[in-house]
């Protein structure tokens, strides 16, 4: 939460503090690898938050509003919840960069995640946070969506076919409050090379994490935007592959 008297912090210092605070809870997650001194969840959080440009970008632009009820679809081990909590802590204790959007915070967080192991890791790490993160192990095609202000779907929709994508987007639209926001990251299938690289890496990572590798369904960026506009969203698209060979785009889709 950002107050008028929040002191300003440099962007570098803020991101360093947020990164450390967001990763810290995952140290508590036990696992086989801990036997040999490796805490998988913590390492995954550290690497993903540090190297995927989407997370810091969300904070710089203020894409995640304060005091939001957030639903994170395909949210894995709940990095978005950890990030929200870390932002609130850092803003309260150290301040927040004046050039960034208001520090985000959550009043509720629900992660809908297919893989039980990932949901369990999130729950173990984050169950004590004050906004009571909920991890629902379920298929997003059937899981009910609670009323919310923000829906986050990062790199997930391509796992289900186009009809299922459309049905889910309609339910997202219905779950969002007036002036709600969907943060949707997708691959742009019109960028043939970048999209193919994304798919190849996704398959390797999916298999390495012990998940079943299924076919994936993409669309050109223009088709994603058109679909969201048909649902009544105003869409702003941001390239989201800086420093990577992928074709990822973040769609910030707002209801008015
Ligand atoms: C590439 S990961 C992205 C994780 C997270 N959104 C992030 O950006 O860190 C995709 C996630 O979607 C989940 N997923 C795939 N199909 C799903 C489905 N039908 N229902 C719910 N989650 C699903 C996967 O298990 C995985 O955790």
Ligand 1 residue neighbourhood (C-beta within 6 Å): 48, 74-76, 79, 112-115, 118, 139-141, 154-156, 159-160, 211
User: 2 C-alpha to center of ligand 1: Å?
Assistant: 30
| Domain assignments of the chain as residue spans, ordered by start | 11-255
Residue 136's Cβ-count burial label (10 Å; 0-12, 13-18, 19+) is middle
Quick one: the chain helix, strand, coil %, rounded to 5?
45, 20, 35
CA distances to 10, 49, 68, 96, 146 from 108, rounded to whole Å, are 28, 21, 7, 22, 10
Q: Which of 57, 63, 70, 74 to mutate to test the pocket of ligand 1 (most atoms within 8 A of CB)?
A: 74
User: 154 C-alpha to center of ligand 1: Å?
Assistant: 8
Contact 51, 42 (CB under 8 A): no
> Going by C-beta distance under 8 Å and a sequence separation of 6 or more, which residues neighbour residue 1?
66, 67, 88, 91, 92, 103, 105
In this structure, is the dihedral angle defined by the CA atoms of residues 117, 170, 250 and 21, taken in order, positive or negative? Answer: negative
Q: Which of 75-84, 163-172, 202-211, 234-243 is the least confident region?
A: 202-211
User: 218 C-alpha to center of ligand 1: Å?
Assistant: 15
Task: From the CA of 152, give the closest atom in ligand 1.
Answer: 6
Residue 63 pLDDT exceeds 60: yes
Per-residue pLDDT reduced to its tens digit, 189-242: 888 888 888 888 888 877 776 766 566 889 999 999 999 999 999 999 998 777
Per-residue pLDDT reduced to its tens digit, 4-43: 556 789 999 999 999 999 999 999 888 665 555 578 899 9
pLDDT of the residue at 1: 45
Q: What is the CATH number of domain 11-255?
A: 3.40.50.150
For residues 46-57, average pLDDT: 95
Per-residue pLDDT reduced to its tens digit, 128-145: 999 999 999 999 999 999
User: 192 C-alpha to center of ligand 1: Å?
Assistant: 23
């Amino acid at each position: 939460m950002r107050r008028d008297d929040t002191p300003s912090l440099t962007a570098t210092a803020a991101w360093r503090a947020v990164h450390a605070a967001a990763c810290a809870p995952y140290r508590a997650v036990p696992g086989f690898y801990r036997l040999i001194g490796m805490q998988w969840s913590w390492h995954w959080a550290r690497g993903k938050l540090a190297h995927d440009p989407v997370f810091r970008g969300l904070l710089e632009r203020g894409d995640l509003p304060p005091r939001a009820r957030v639903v994170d679809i395909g949210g894995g081990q709940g990095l978005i919840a950890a990030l929200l909590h870390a932002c609130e802590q850092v803003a309260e204790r150290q301040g927040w960069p004046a050039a960034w959007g208001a520090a985000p915070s959550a009043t509720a967080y629900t992660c809908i995640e297919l893989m039980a192991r990932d949901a369990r890791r999130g729950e173990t790490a984050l169950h004590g946070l004050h906004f009571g993160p909920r991890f629902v192990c379920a298929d997003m095609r059937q899981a009910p969506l609670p009323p919310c202000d923000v829906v986050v779907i990062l790199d997930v929709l391509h796992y289900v076919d186009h009809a299922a994508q459309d049905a889910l987007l309609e339910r997202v639209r219905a779950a969002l409050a007036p002036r709600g926001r969907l943060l949707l990251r997708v691959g742009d299938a019109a960028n043939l090379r970048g999209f193919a690289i994304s798919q190849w890496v996704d398959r390797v990572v999916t298999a390495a994490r012990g998940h079943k590798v299924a076919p994936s369904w993409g669309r050109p960026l223009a088709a994603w935007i058109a679909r969201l506009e048909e649902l009544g969203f105003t869409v702003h698209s941001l390239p989201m592959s800086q420093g990577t060979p992928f074709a990822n785009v973040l769609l910030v889709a707002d209801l008015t």
